[in-house]
Amino acid sequence: MRINKVAIQGFRAFKEMTEISLGRLTTIIGKNDAGKSSILHALDAFFNGSPDEGDFNRDQDSDAPIIFQVSFSDLPLFVRLEEGVDTNLESENLLDSQHNLTI
């Protein structure tokens, strides 16, 4: 599996939903405070735990959520649920309209 898209909202500089497409090799460039590091911090929060209190976008309402969506492609053909029970992500209705797994 590989990440092919990240969507972020309400996290640091990303007030509105922002989608970032990723290729097999992606370079993120931009001016200081453009949000380059925030993309990496968002992925870290997605995979390793919750965002910190200071990660909420300051221009949003205090109760507005942080949203992370990560889309995966190059998915395995089969998934083993338990010994002797194989399935695939499409049969389990887990793929989006582009046949990616989006969480």
The reported pTM is 0.84
Would you list the DSSP string of 60-73? S-TTPPPEEEEEEE
pLDDT in tens, 15-71: 899 999 999 999 999 999 888 999 999 999 999 987 777 788 878 877 788 999 999
**Better-predicted residue by pLDDT, 100 or 52:** 100
Going by C-alpha positions, the residue among 52, 48, 49 that lies closest to residue 11 is: 52
